[in-house]
Amino acid sequence: MKEKILIVEDEKTLREILTEFFEEKGFEVEGCETLKEALNAKSADVIILDVRLPDGNGIEAVPEIKRRFDPAEVIIITAYEREAKTAVKALKLGAFDYITKPFKLEDLLIFVNKALEKTRLKKNYEELKKRTKEIQLGDIIGISESMQEIFEKMKRVAKTNITVLITGESGTGKELVAQTIHRLSERSGKFVAVNCAAIPKELLESELFGYEKGAFTGATASKKGLIEEAHKGTLFLDEIGDMPLELQGKLLRFLEDHKVRRIGARQEKEVDVRIICATNKNLPELVEKGEFRKDLYFRISGFSIDIPPLKKRKEDIPILISHILKEIEKETKTRYQISSGALKALLIYDYPGNVRELKNILKQASLMSDGIIMYEHLPDYIKRAAPVIKETSFDKNLEELVADYEKELILQALEKAKGVKKKAAEILGISFRSLRYKLEKYGIK
Ligand SMILES: Nc1ncnc2c1ncn2[C@@H]1O[C@H](COP(=O)(O)OP(=O)(O)OP(=O)(O)O)[C@@H](O)[C@H]1O
Ligand SMILES: [Mg+2]
């Protein structure tokens, strides 16, 4: 797309000369006679503005024009000698620079190009800011449609006190999601995590509910339970599927009335906690088998977040890699990049251990490499899953590598679908809309 110059100059001849000159240089040009006309223009990437105009002073109008066409820059043309006062005023009001009549067109072109460069940088920065905001929520990274939906759900539920159930295979980020919901909720208390599978059955009840001195042998002093620890905060019940049946009833009662009674205590105490549960088990199946209480299942599954396995959202892999490499960079003080071959193999592999596995792979591979992680540095089991991948380029950044790879996948899918776009989108597992967007982006006909 051509960049657009708006020329605001009431002197007809000069306006025409400028228009012709910049059109010849490949710009789109719109000429205006007055400030009013200029403010009504549709768009502009740079504005060349005369000072004396029929409906006002150009310099005074700089702030309004800049606001109107943000992030475009304004260059002032003035008929007077480089009068220090005018210059300072124009620059103070936000003009990019100014040029005095008579001037050489080539000099004005240099100004225009510099101004455009600045505008482009500003635009890129805005774009980048928008994008980093979209692909990250707290410490969670995800660009896939499924992760984007999860971000949306998290933001909505964080503001409430609703119990949340997070499901997903091991290593998909359940705990990270729970922590992030807590952070977003701005609850003033702590985030307390309890792994129901890791604490011996007999101890879990006293850990959760606490006990009074002398409640049982060994209870030499009274102790607060983890539920009370999480007062005004969030209690994360990890591996809830492993909670013993007897305790499930007690938990359910707590969820109903938010009161705890320490073991051996007479008094109940009201506690304000938000509960988040997680499991990698199939709870309905456990209910079916009688290993999980149906009423508890219904009580905790009102709002659930299911995190798909990484192999179902491979679009997330490249940004996860870049995020993880930055983490490794912080630890090791060494910069790491990834080669095209390694990236391709990592996109082919299916990750039974999900994001945690990807992290481990990159940690290992970074140890083997001297800065550029190549196919040969990957563990053998990945090489077996993605055999003999050729390295194609070394000087491209991750984004360019991903674009190459994505293009290749789209072309393959189109070939399989015999050119039928709808079918190709199905094969790729993306929506028709995003396929159309990508075809345009990569210029695929
Ligand atoms: N979307 C993500 N973005 C960034 N890091 C992630 C993401 N998902 C997972 N991780 C990282 O992967 C690792 C595993 O995540 P986490 O412990 O939350 O998984 P989990 O689902 O609780 O696993 P498990 O079921 O084995 O307990 C953590 O180091 C976490 O920070
Ligand atoms: Mg976990």
3-state secondary structure of 11: coil
238 C-alpha to ligand 2 centroid (Å): 6
The whole-number pLDDT of residue 408 equals: 83
User: Residue 293: pLDDT above 90?
Assistant: yes
What integer is the mean pLDDT of 56-62?
93
The residues, ordered by sequence, that sit 6+ positions from 295 with a Cβ below 8 Å of its Cβ are 252
Is 264's pLDDT higher than 90?
yes
- Confidence band (pLDDT; 50, 70, 90) for 121? confident
The whole-chain average pLDDT of the chain stands at 91
Of all residues in the chain, what percent carry a pLDDT higher than 70? 96
| Position 380 pLDDT exceeds 60 | yes
Cβ–ligand 1 distance for 31 under 6 Å, the answer no
pTM reported for the whole predicted model: 0.69
Residue nearest to atom 25 of ligand 1 (CA): 170
Nearest to 366 by CA among 404, 399, 401, 339: 339
| pLDDT confidence band for 420 (50 / 70 / 90) | very high
Centre of ligand 2 to C-alpha 297, Å, is 19
Instruction: Select the more confidently predicted residue: 282 or 444.
Output: 282
Using pLDDT thresholds of 50, 70 and 90, give the confidence band for residue 201. confident
pLDDT above 90 for 202: no
- Judge whether residue 397 has pLDDT over 80: no
CA–CA gap between residue 316 and residue 359 (Å, rounded): 13
Is the distance from the beta carbon of residue 170 to the nearest atom of ligand 1 less than 6 Å?
yes
Long-range contacts of 92-96 (CB under 8 A, 24+ apart): 93/59, 93/60, 93/62, 93/63, 94/62, 94/63, 94/66, 95/49, 95/59, 95/62, 96/46
252 CA to centre of ligand 1 in angstroms:
27
DSSP reduced 3-state for 206: helix
pLDDT at residue 245 greater than cutoff 70: yes
Predicted pLDDT of residue 400: 79
Q: How confident is the model at residue 131 (pLDDT cuts 50, 70, 90)?
A: low
For the Cβ of 356 lying below 6 angstroms from any atom of ligand 1, the answer is: yes
* Residue with token string 């070939």: 415
Ligand 1: which residue has its CA nearest to atom 23? 171
What is the CATH superfamily name and number for domain 140-308?
P-loop containing nucleotide triphosphate hydrolases (3.40.50.300)
| Residue 380 burial (C-beta neighbours within 10 Å; 0-12, 13-18, 19+) | exposed
Q: Is the CB of 141 under 6 A from ligand 1?
A: yes
295-334: per-residue pLDDT in tens? 999 999 989 999 999 999 998 999 899 999 999 999 999 9
Distance, CA 281 to ligand 2 centroid (Å)? 12
Does 159 score more than 60 pLDDT? Answer: yes
Q: Would you kindly state where each structural domain of the chain is located, as residue ranges?
A: 4-132, 140-308, 312-441
392 vs 307, 374, 382, 402, CA distance in Å? 34, 11, 19, 13
Q: Is the CB of 140 under 6 A from ligand 1?
A: yes
Distance separating alpha carbons of residues 30 and 41, to the nearest angstrom: 8
Q: How far is the CA of 195 from the centre of ligand 2 (A)?
A: 8
Residues 6+ apart with CB under 8 A from 189: 230, 231, 232, 233, 234, 272, 273
**Is the beta carbon of 176 within 6 A of some atom in ligand 1?**
yes
What pLDDT is recorded for position 129?
A: 63
Range 87-101 average pLDDT: 87
Orientation of helix 201-209 relative to helix 245-257, angle to 10°: 10
Q: Which of 32-46, 129-143, 261-275 has the lowest mean pLDDT?
A: 129-143
Closest residue (by CA) to atom 30 of ligand 1?
Answer: 173
Q: Give the CATH class of 312-441.
A: mainly alpha
Res 133 pLDDT > 60: no
What pLDDT was estimated at residue 395? 64
Topology, domain 4-132:
Rossmann fold (3.40.50)
Query: Are both 4-132 and 140-308 of the same fold?
Result: yes
Residue 82: pLDDT above 60?
A: no
Residue 182 clears pLDDT 80, i.e. is over it: yes
